[in-house]
């Protein structure tokens, strides 16, 4: 049966009237119960409250699922600045033409259909000018539409291909949008900005076709707002990043999934899935639980241990908090490779142990350089929130790190100089008096005849010279006698060795001579050259447990 053009127009107009009547009930402001002047925060709170109330997993009442779809659709419009503007102007989030909402000459209203005279869009000519009609329909969300009846079948039967086109547009307008306010994460960003960077991340893995993304976005947004500065948020579109999601093991199954990149169980960080209720309080507690914890909790009676030298400079927070403050935990993650963190609870800044540290107000931050020197970095610390607190205290730590590096460099140069001083020198005319002159109680000389012999003796004497070997106390006192060390090239200084023994020890590739310049006496060690044996030899010399002989003449270097 063929419908006439007039019948078609009338039928379509009647249908639009039905849609307009039904669409009025899904005004997004009315659905969420907010005024048109509502802020994004108010809209977010309203959405959160209603989505919890009508979520299909918790509300099994008839109509709850449809109501939940309307709530999601309303939030999708009002949470998007452009869609909200379009709706306020045209009654349609896509900005389809029609009288502005509330315009004196407009018919219908938001979500309905409007007539705009003077535009030749669709219609038939008439005396006195042409009249045309412009229609805009309020779309539903999810698999069900907002009109309460089989719109697809009705349009398909009446308009054929036009119905298919409408269904396609309706499907697109009702599809789930991606969480636009969250940083999109791919493999490259994940490896550069998240992995082992010290910051805790809350990650949403999703597929645009899944239900409930807006609800997740609302909850995550509130949690991120309360933990701003301590937590970063990102989303992974697993429909686009399929291999990446499978590699991480975060591919969404029946719905979106939440993960925290945590340092709680793994010092390098790892993904931990959140399996609790989708509620702000519970998710926030989970995120706080997984903030970095690289600060060692201690007490006032253990502070004396911080004066010892450490590989890294140490920083300590003194506060009245029972547990490690969030800001300090965040900093301990960001700076974990640059400082050794500690924190301690103190009840009052009048505590004598606190005063002893030079602290006059709490909270306070102290620092210890690698050489054990203590510095007061900040007392009476005051911050507005976590974000600003992390920024302010980061500046303090950065400054302390510069001081520490400068001190470490200075200390390194000093150690290098000390090492050079302890270097075993080759005896010569210029240094013999300083090393083995009469002011020296004992001079240990390593005599060698080959390059290998020199390397062996130099290595042994360098190690032994760094140890504290002293003469046993006697009746006249307990002062420690100093020992000097030197090397001698036997092949070039044979006459020097002849002063000790007529043979000149020509058969020995390497030997040790303990020489007492004041008394002109000596003793020789030619046994196995090991650190233990050399130490025993020198200890025996100093303790008097080994006999000495007089030299034939005073040894002189060429």
The CA-based angle 219-220-226, given to 5 degrees, is 95
Residue 399 backbone dihedrals phi, psi, to 5 degrees? -65, -40
Return the pLDDT at 21: 42
Element (H, E) at 315: strand 314-319
Return the pLDDT at 236: 96
Tens of pLDDT, residues 476-497: 333 345 789 999 999 999 999 9
The CA-based angle 504-506-508, given to 5 degrees, is 115
CB 369 within 8 A of CB 404: yes
- 123: alpha, beta or left, given left = phi > 0 and alpha = psi -120 to 50? left
Half-sphere exposure of 61 (CA within 13 A, CB side): 8
Return the pLDDT at 59: 86
User: Which band of pLDDT confidence, cut at 50, 70 and 90, is reported for residue 422?
Assistant: low
Return the pLDDT at 265: 61
Q: Which residue has the tokens 């009647």?
A: 14
List strands edge to edge, sheet with 521-525.
425-426, 483-489, 442-448, 510-516, 521-525, 549-550
Neighbours of 113 (CB within 10 A): 23
Instruction: Please say if the pLDDT value at position 248 is more than 90.
Output: yes
Average pLDDT over residues 103-123: 37
Q: If DSSP codes are grouped into helix, strand and coil, which group holds residue 417?
A: helix
Tens of pLDDT, residues 359-372: 999 999 999 987 78
CB 294 within 8 A of CB 336: yes
CB under 8 Å to 532, separation ≥6 — which residues? none
Q: Euclidean distance between the first and final Cα of the chain, in Å?
A: 131
> From the CA atom positions of the chain, what is the Rg in Å?
42
**Between 69 and 130, the higher pLDDT residue:** 69
Q: How far apart, in whole angstroms, are the C-alpha atoms of residue 375 and residue 63?
A: 66
Burial of 381 (0-12, 13-18, 19+ CB in 10 A): buried
Q: How far apart, in whole angstroms, are the C-alpha atoms of residue 435 and residue 412?
A: 26
Q: How far apart, in whole angstroms, are the C-alpha atoms of residue 542 and residue 548?
A: 11
Q: How far apart, in whole angstroms, are the C-alpha atoms of residue 381 and residue 394?
A: 13
User: Which band of pLDDT confidence, cut at 50, 70 and 90, is reported for residue 119?
Assistant: very low
Mean pLDDT of the chain: 78
Query: How large a percentage of the chain has pLDDT more than 90?
Result: 44
Q: Where are the beta strands (DSSP E) in 431-518?
A: 442-448, 483-489, 510-516
CB 357 within 8 A of CB 312: no
Neighbours of 301 (CB within 10 A): 9
User: Which band of pLDDT confidence, cut at 50, 70 and 90, is reported for residue 99?
Assistant: very low
Average pLDDT over residues 256-268: 85
Peptide bond into 344 cis (omega under 30): no
10-42: buried (b, 16+ CB within 10 Å) or exposed (e) per residue?
eebeebbeebbebbbebbbbebbebeeebeeee
Return the pLDDT at 490: 92
Return the pLDDT at 535: 92
The CA-based angle 522-526-529, given to 5 degrees, is 120
Q: How far apart, in whole angstroms, are the C-alpha atoms of residue 368 and residue 312?
A: 9
Which one of 64-73, 161-170, 197-206 scores highest in mean pLDDT? 197-206
Instruction: Please say if the pLDDT value at position 57 is more than 80.
Output: no
Q: How far apart, in whole angstroms, are the C-alpha atoms of residue 262 and residue 234?
A: 14
Q: How far apart, in whole angstroms, are the C-alpha atoms of residue 485 and residue 285?
A: 65
CB 95 within 8 A of CB 105: no
CB 209 within 8 A of CB 266: no
**Between 288 and 157, the higher pLDDT residue:** 288
Characterize the bridge pairing of strands 270-273 and 374-379.
unpaired
**Between 521 and 41, the higher pLDDT residue:** 521
Ranges 138-142, 180-184, 285-289: which has the least confidence = 138-142
Domains along the chain with CATH numbers = 5-174 (1.10.287.110), 183-289 (3.40.30.10), 305-417 (3.40.30.10), 425-550 (3.40.30.10)
Return the pLDDT at 417: 59
Return the pLDDT at 214: 85
């Amino acid at each position: 049966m063929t419908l006439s053009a007039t019948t078609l127009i009338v039928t379509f107009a009647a249908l639009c009237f039905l849609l307009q009547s039904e669409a009025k009930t899904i005004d997004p402001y009315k659905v969420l119960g907010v005024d048109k002047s509502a802020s994004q925060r108010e809209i977010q709170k309203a959405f959160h409250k209603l989505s919890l109330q009508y979520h299909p997993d918790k509300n099994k009442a008839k109509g709850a699922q449809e109501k939940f779809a309307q709530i999601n659709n309303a939030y999708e419009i009002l949470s998007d600045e452009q869609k909200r503007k379009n709706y306020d102007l045209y009654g349609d989030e896509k900005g389809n033409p029609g009288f502005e909402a509330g315009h004196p000459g407009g018919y219908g209203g938001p979500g309905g259909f409007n007539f705009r005279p003077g535009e030749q869009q669709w219609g038939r000519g008439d005396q006195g000018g042409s009249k045309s009609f412009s229609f805009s329909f309020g779309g539903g969300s999810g698999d069900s539409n907002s009109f309460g009846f089989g719109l697809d079948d009705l349009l398909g039967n009446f308009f054929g291909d036009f119905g298919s086109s409408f269904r396609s547009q309706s499907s697109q307008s009702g599809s789930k949008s991606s969480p636009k306010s969250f940083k999109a994460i791919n493999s490259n960003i994940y490896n550069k900005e998240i992995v082992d960077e010290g910051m805790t991340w809350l990650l949403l893995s999703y597929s645009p076709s899944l239900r409930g993304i807006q609800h997740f976005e609302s909850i995550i947004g509130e949690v991120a707002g309360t933990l701003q500065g301590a937590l970063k948020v990102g989303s992974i579109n697993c429909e686009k990043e399929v291999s990446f999601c499978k590699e991480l093991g975060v591919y969404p199954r029946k719905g979106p999934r939440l993960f925290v990149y945590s340092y709680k169980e793994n010092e390098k960080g790892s993904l931990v899935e959140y399996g609790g209720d989708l509620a702000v309080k519970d998710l926030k507690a989970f995120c706080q639980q997984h903030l970095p914890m690289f600060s060692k909790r201690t007490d006032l009676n253990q502070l004396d241990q911080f004066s010892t030298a450490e590989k890294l400079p140490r920083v300590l927070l003194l506060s009245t908090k029972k547990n490690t403050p969030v800001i300090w935990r965040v900093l301990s993650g960001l700076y974990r490779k640059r400082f050794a963190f500690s924190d301690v609870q103190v009840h009052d800044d009048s505590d004598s142990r606190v005063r002893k540290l030079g602290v006059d107000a709490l909270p306070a931050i102290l620092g210890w350089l690698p050489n054990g020197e203590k510095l007061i970095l900040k007392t009476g610390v005051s911050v507005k929130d976590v974000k600003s607190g992390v920024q302010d205290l980061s500046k303090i730590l950065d400054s302390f790190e510069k001081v520490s590096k400068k001190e470490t460099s200075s200390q390194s140069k000093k150690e290098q100089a000390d090492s050079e001083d302890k270097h075993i020198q080759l005896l010569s005319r210029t240094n013999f008096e300083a090393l083995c002159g009469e002011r020296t109680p004992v001079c240990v000389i390593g005599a060698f005849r080959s390059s290998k012999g020199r390397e062996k003796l130099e290595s042994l004497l360098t190690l032994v010279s760094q140890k504290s070997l002293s003469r046993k106390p006697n009746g006249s006192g307990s002062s420690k006698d100093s020992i000097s060390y030197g090397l001698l090239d036997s092949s070039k200084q044979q006459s020097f060795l002849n002063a000790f023994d007529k043979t000149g020890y020509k058969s020995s590739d390497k030997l040790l001579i303990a020489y007492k310049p004041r008394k002109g006496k000596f003793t020789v060690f030619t046994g196995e050259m090991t650190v233990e044996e050399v130490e025993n030899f020198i200890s025996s010399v100093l303790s008097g447990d080994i006999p000495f002989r007089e030299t034939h003449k005073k040894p002189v270097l060429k």
